[in-house]
Chains A and B, each alone.
Chain A
Amino acid sequence: MKKTILNGLFLLACTSVWAQQKITYDAYDLPNGLHVILHEEHATPIVAVSVLYHVGSKNENPDRTGFAHFFEHLLFEGSAHIGRGEYSELVEKNGGTLNANTSQDRTYYYEVLPSNQLELGLWLESERMLHAKVDIKGIETQRSVVKEEKRQRVDNQPYGSFFTEMFKRVFTSHPYNWAPIGSMEHLDAAQEEDYVNFYKTYYVPSNATLSIAGDINIEQTKKWIAQYFGTIPQGQAINLYRDFISLSDDAFAARYNIQKSQFDTKNFMASSTPEAKKIIGSYLSKPCVIDRPQKDNQAITGVVKDTIYDNIQLPALFMGFKMPNQTHPDSYALEFLNEVLSSGSSSRINKEIVEKRQLAQYAFSFNYGLEDAGIGIMAAIAPKEVALDTLLAAFDAQITGIKSALISEEEFMKVRNKFENDIASSNASIAGIAENLADNHVYYGDANRVNSLLSNYLKVTREDILRVAQTYLTQDQRVILYYLPLEK
């Protein structure tokens, strides 16, 4: 896929575009619905094991916000076979590292381990998927930790609330309305049962993607996956099993109308009494159904302008536009648009607003694409003496500019070159590869999109950029937030 672009205007631009390095992978589904992606490369003897659960803050009940992120914490508490606090210790003492993150759309867990510890990583993640500890002790500990996280990242952070404040106003009729950190009151009000139900609904193999990259042997890896994940019950049988291990005899009997003694404690799924076989069979065929929110196509009503007083020294401007969801074909042109506006020192916003007019300390524009909708954010922190109205007018001049004429050939080539450079670097780490493959599978239904990114960007024309600017940078439909220092 070598493509030559000729451009008479620039001697420099006589550049042969480098073919994007291809990421190869194997992908398949287990009978229980778990999607598996495997990428093999041996440069460094390490492996990344990750599981993406397709649950984020948008799946939360509006009066139980913060649950998805809370689970990201809770699911390090241990499992039926892993003691409290032992999860991370097992990874660390075997030379690995681990973490997790939560967005509006998904929760992502990963370990990077020496490659001879791959089996350990698979066991750990399968334990989390099958029977994690979701109990009151863990809930209470992690409640306090999450509250501290919110204090540190949101409350005590200058402008830390802008994310919450912006989403609240841009998404008035979609669960993107609240931020993943959620409400501490909701977490406090929730009962153990609420947490257990969340686990049962969203933490099931059919809602997960196992993505592995690094120094692996594909054949051996598949065997281990069959062993650790293939044995996780499918359908609602997983929740029957979870209740079996967590409920008391009476509670279990009351719920399922069958005594726990009918089952094999050591090997639940192999229980041999006819009653047990019958109920297991019926739960295996009951699917795990997840109600997902609809795509959000509703425009912002007019201009929503608010002032927020925060514990800050310098005033700031944040602006939000409604954008299409991330799989929309216009996303590439929107990325392009933002590059022209604010990427690099020579970008329009930096040159004009920061350097020439000195109306801002920092100023930037980016597109945040999500599964059901997107948000375009423009923001700037102003020096003390600059009025935010002036700063806003300067942004508006840039918006009007990019909506009224094609970007220059030079800008166009510059951004293409930048994408080429960025994409060359984007798959440098195996952890990044595992995550990119999983994301592309879940959101685009096509993990292979990682290999066509550059060609997608190179299809964008200057006319596309003008069109998306005119379509989406709606000055009469946007949110404008002024951040001002609290009076001391």
Chain B
Amino acid sequence: MKSLYLLMALILTNSVFAQLDRSQRPAPGAAQKINIPASQVFTTANGITVILSENHKIPKVSIELSLGNTPRLEGSKAGLADFTGSLLMSGTTTRSKDQLDREIDFIGANLSAGSSSMYLSCLTKHLSKGLDLMIDVLYNANFPESEIERIRKQNLSGLQSTKADAGEMASNATRAVNFPNHPLGEIMTEATLQTISREDMLAYYKSTFTPKGSYLVVVGDISRAETEALVQTYFATWQGGPAYQAELGKGQFDKGNRVIFVKKPGAVQSVVYVTFPIDLRAGHKDQLALNVLNGILGGGGFGTRLMQNLREDKAFTYGCYSSLNITENGSWMSAGGNFKNAVTDSAITEILKEFAGIIEAQVRDEELSLTKNNMAGGFARSLERPQTIARFALNTIKQKLAPDYYQNYLQQLEAITKEDVLRVAQQYFTAKNCHIIVVGNEEILSKLLPFDSDGKIEKLDAFGAAIKETRTADISADELIDNYAMALTGTSSKKAAIKKVKAIKSYVRVSEISSAQIPFALSSTDYFWDGSKEASKMEMPGMVLQKSYFDGTSGYTFSMQGGREDLKAEEITAKQKASGLIPELNYKSKGMNYEIKGIENIDGEDCYVLYTTDGESESFDYFSSTSFMKLRTTNLRKMEDELIETTTTFSDYKDINGFKFGHTFSLSVGKMTLSGTVKSIEVNPKEVLPKDF
């Protein structure tokens, strides 16, 4: 019997095999119709838009609440929104955290909250219990101090571990560099975390968790009538002010490639992201073509240009991908992966090459159809999840899409041409103005230099903030000051230097000042007399903009906007600590706080860093370690709640009457930069301060 069976199997096997030509690839069957069930939308009197997507396959319901605010700039409290979000589930005025946790877990539900959203999912039969818990958190969260401190501590440890996580560091750097002064670019640090108080959280919670402009997305085993009843029971009494709305910037667009390096000691691989912002928002008509472009470059699966080149051809990596992030608050492009140290530079070259390639020439027909088919398939696969249908409805409303956008999605996708793809590549992509983020071992740093357009690699810490490296200085603060005085006077002893300083009783210096942000030239005049007194004025033709005066015991400032203001006692004390032709020489006798911080490399030159604080502000002065000339000063002054940072640079020192005066300088405050050139210096003139000053 058995042998007969074997024989039959053999015959069967052979005969079928004979008919099959395996080299023929099967053709697809008739295309299946894609059916997107319609969602139902209604609004409530208190401002909620409810979106319902019914699906009775599984006896579960999910409810997502998405609030109507845009993110805010948080500055010194960066992380407030996230921190608050993570505290929402920490107890309410009616339930302790333990009670809340027990009741949620008991019904097997998932209830979570974020900075501007809440999510509930549970079996249909537990829905009313689930909603009781959800609205308790929504209305009554009470942020207990003990939980705040516990989560703060946990976040601090989390921030610690970020320092070992190359991917996390790279993503922080990407955000910080693409979006400075933008909520997307703000990153929680140990310092910002420490400043966040319970009051901050309550204020955020109160203003953010408001029904106005919010969306309630209901998905699953529930009918329209049940949904309406549920909204009436649980959400009708919810009240609140208008949702926070702000216009957000579009990101940092630069000229030339910038290499940004984050150090990860001991790394065997580098994480590389080549990234830049994109000037459009979710819902823009070019979004679909950009998605196709990204799919061809590296956003799809294995067949993309990046994957084929860097993984399959070069074997540089396990995966090289690109991602296009188009959001309602800002958009950016990023491409990269993990690369072993030895090929990090080659990988960057190849990624930039792929960007350049896709901008220069039309994509191939096969790539286009591959990506479009792939996206069409992804679209079809996504429909398996009921959440997708609800998300479509939400996007249609939030992003003001055509009502039939998703119904027509496949046709629109099909209609995208090679010309469309090239146009968006040229309009939005770049291979020359990229931010090249590298997190890795410092041993590869020198190989990254050629990629940077100005040859200066910026170094960031794990949280996207610029870092300076400081080495210990080999001289004391007083020795530094003496050397500086000798350098300015061209002498070789302190005594000789002081003698020369004394010979200069007064001077008048006139400079011309220009700025890209100011359409006309300014003139500035500085006066110095009696070895310690000083005044200055800045004017444009026919108008004095600012003046200052200080005679050693009193003085004033004058500005066009503010008029004349006398110096306050603290300001006078501070000024007295730094007077004289070379104020540093008088630091010790006048009681200035000063210390040497070490050596830092500034624009390729090693500098001694002298730190001073006069009670009003703090300064960091940078002196060349070879010439001892002062190259730069950074002053930090607190005004109200803001820290104002002013950086002045000095160069082109020239000898006048045996003393070296800097002849060019620049001054930058925030985004404003002024540059100045000295036009004339008169030493020991007959008249110093004009009568009409």
Residues of A within 8 A of B (CB): 10, 12-13, 15-16, 18, 21, 31-32, 43-46, 76, 80-81, 85, 88-98, 112-120, 122-123, 126-127, 130, 141, 143-149, 151-153, 155-156, 158, 215, 226-228, 230-231, 233-234, 267, 269-270, 281, 284-285, 311-314, 343-347, 351, 355, 358, 361, 381, 383-384, 410, 413-414, 417-422, 424-425, 428-430, 485-486, 488
Contacts and interface: CB of A to CB of B under 8 A. Distances in A.
Contact of A424 (B60, B97, B105, B165): B60
B106 A45 contact: no
Contact of A117 (B6, B28, B302, B385): B28
Interface stretch (B153-161, B508-516, B533-541, B543-551): B153-161
Interface string B424-468: 000000000000000000000000000000000000000000000
Contacts of B675: none
B25 A120 contact: yes
Contacts of B317: 145, 148, 152
A112 B105 contact: no
Interface residues of B, number: 88
A346 B101 contact: yes
A245 B300 CA distance: 34
Interface in B1-48: 6, 9-10, 12-14, 16-20, 22-23, 25-34
Contact of B384 (A44, A81, A413, A486): A44
A88 B125 CA distance: 43
Given A15-B125, A18-B123, A158-B164, A45 B312 contact: no
B13 A152 contact: no
Contacts of B308: 85
A307 B31 CA distance: 59
A94 B28 contact: yes
Contacts of A12: 106-107, 129
B316 interface: yes
Contacts of A420: 108, 123
B615 interface: no
Contacts of A151: 268-269, 318, 338, 340
9 contacts: A12-B129, A92-B303, A93-B366, A95-B380, A116-B28, A120-B28, A146-B318, A311-B266, A424-B59
Nearest to B340: A151
A14 B420 CA distance: 60
A297 to B, nearest CB: 35
Contact of A425 (B60, B158, B266): B60
Interface in B104-121: 104-109
A270 B12 CA distance: 11
Contacts of A80: 22
B664 interface: no
Contact of A284 (B10, B30, B339, B370): B10
Interface stretch (B71-79, B189-197, B234-242, B371-379): B371-379
Given A92-B370, A93-B373, A156 B268 contact: yes
Given A123-B26, A230-B12, A114 B374 contact: no
B18 A141 contact: no
A344 B123 contact: no
A47 B310 CA distance: 31
Given A158-B164, A267-B17, A313-B163, A92 B123 contact: no
Contact of A428 (B58, B104, B161): B58
A93 B372 CA distance: 8
A148 B104 CA distance: 42
Nearest to A314: B161
Question: Which interface residue of A127, A152, A228, A281 has the most chain B CB atoms within 10 A?
Answer: A152
Contacts of A156: 166, 267-269, 338
Interface string B144-174: 0000001001101110110111100000000
Given A89-B302, A148-B315, A16 B125 contact: yes
A421 B20 contact: no
A242 B9 CA distance: 20
Nearest to A123: B26
The 9 closest A-B pairs by CB, nearest first: A95-B377, A144-B315, A45-B32, A421-B108, A88-B302, A93-B370, A119-B26, A345-B101, A116-B29
B413 to A, nearest CB: 11
B538 to A, nearest CB: 50
A395 B326 CA distance: 45
Interface in B293-344: 300-303, 308, 311-312, 315-319, 338-340
Given A112-B381, A231-B20, A95 B105 contact: no
A234 B9 contact: yes
Given A92-B377, A148-B338, A428-B384, 15 more contacts: A18-B123, A93-B303, A93-B366, A115-B32, A149-B318, A152-B319, A270-B17, A311-B267, A313-B161, A358-B153, A381-B161, A383-B157, A418-B108, A421-B109, A428-B385
Nearest to B315: A144
A134 B366 CA distance: 27
Contacts of B265: 311, 488
B132 to A, nearest CB: 11
A351 B158 CA distance: 19
A314 B268 contact: no
A454 to B, nearest CB: 12
B122 interface: yes
Contacts of A15: 125-126
B384 A430 contact: yes
Contacts of B135: none
Nearest to A485: B164
B12 to A, nearest CB: 7
Nearest to A386: B157
B656 interface: no
B384 A269 contact: no
A114 B380 contact: yes
A114 B108 CA distance: 34
Contact of A358 (B34, B150, B164): B150
Contact of B6 (A96, A284, A384): A284
Contact of A32 (B13, B31, B89, B366): B13
Contact of A145 (B108, B300, B315, B374): B315
Interface in B594-640: none
Nearest to A228: B20
B191 to A, nearest CB: 17
A94 B373 contact: yes
Interface in B364-403: 366, 369-370, 373-374, 376-378, 380-381, 383-385
A480 B165 CA distance: 24
Interface in B560-591: none
A55 B308 CA distance: 28
B654 interface: no
Contact of A410 (B22, B106, B166, B318): B106
Nearest to A383: B157
A323 B108 CA distance: 26
Given A31-B9, A93-B366, A311-B266, A45 B316 contact: no
Nearest to A127: B22
Given A92-B300, A420-B123, A346 B32 contact: no
B98 interface: yes
Nearest to A362: B154
B268 A344 contact: no
B17 A118 contact: no
Given A93-B366, A284-B10, A346 B31 contact: no
A45 B34 CA distance: 7
A418 B108 CA distance: 4
A361 B269 contact: no
Contacts of B284: none
A187 B342 CA distance: 21
Contacts of A215: 32
